[in-house]
Amino acid sequence: MAKALSAREQGLSLQKCSMQSGMNKSAIANWEEGRSQKRRRGPETTLTFDEEEALQKWIFQKCKSGHGVSVLDVKLKVAEICQTRHTLFTNGILGRSWWKGFRRRHPQLVIRVSEGLDQSRAIRFRPKIVKTLYENLRMLYDENKYPPSNIWNADKTRFQGSRDKGMKILAKKGTKSMYGIICDSREWMTILCCVNAAGHAIPSYYIFKGSRMNANYIEDCKAGDAMAMQKKAWMTGDLFQAWLEHLRKFIIQDIGFDSRHLKPVRRDVFGI
């Protein structure tokens, strides 16, 4: 349409503009005279076009902040907006047909299951913190030229028997990670796993809640797995140092006993 209107400004006839652009002459004439073709069939929507765009923006912002909204939350929000318009809804809330129409008009909306994160972990998802981490890693790799077998990545995973599954929330299509902030409950069993860039893994390290090791909870696990007890099943400085010795015992098999590769664990380096 922009090319057709530009050609009209240069003096071309409607017939020639229509042939060059492949558009109908009436459509070109209507746009030229300000008669837009925005008419649609069917009844008017509950919200205006601008209001629906603002609602979609609100949904995306809530999702990004870790406080995603459900379909019911959206319906209640629209009902709140329409309180002063005397719009009647069954049971005071919009029905399924409105939601289907809203989804059809906004294909970027998808329903996903969020991952529960407590407040302290959610803070670490900030883009600036993540970007700084990867920039520092890149500097270390470029400076020291580590081989893949010497690059180890450890991560602890926590489990809680009474933990609820994440709720279904609305998100933007293509969003890779979904999380929802939950209460900071710490009754976990912790598992620390470690894998290097070459694809080799060392046996896992389990931390159970308690103060005494009354039973072998990992007797059915893989050979080499280790366990420890902590009052709240947290990873502490002392347990991390014990895990470093656990790591050292298994990476010696790959690196060897050459003293150039093995150094004592220093508290000032690891902050423990």
| pTM, entire model | 0.45
For 37-65, how does the pLDDT look when each residue is reduced to its tens digit (9 = 90+)?
A: 555 566 778 888 899 999 999 999 988 88
Q: What percent of the chain has pLDDT over 70?
A: 74
| Residues 191, 156 contacting (CB under 8 angstroms) | yes
What is residue 271's DSSP assignment? T
pLDDT band at 14 (very low <50, low <70, confident <90, very high): confident
Of 150, 259, 163, 141, residue with least CA distance to 194: 150
List all residues 6 or more positions away from 187 whose beta carbon is below 8 Å from its beta carbon: 160, 162, 209, 232, 233
For 127-143, how does the pLDDT look when each residue is reduced to its tens digit (9 = 90+)?
A: 788 888 889 988 988 89
- Greatest mean pLDDT among 13-27, 40-54, 247-261 lies in 40-54
209 vs 114, more confident = 209
| Dihedral angle of Cα 23, 29, 32, 36, to the nearest 10 degrees | -80
Q: Please state, in angstroms and as integers, the Cα–Cα distance from residue 269 to each residue in 70, 112, 157, 272, following that order.
A: 45, 41, 24, 8
pLDDT at position 170 is 76
Kindly report the backbone phi and psi dihedral angles of residue 16, in degrees, each rounded to the nearest multiple of 5, phi listed first: -70, -40
Tracing tokens 């837009």 back to the chain, one arrives at: 36
For 139-168, how does the pLDDT look when each residue is reduced to its tens digit (9 = 90+)?
A: 988 898 888 888 889 998 877 654 555 667
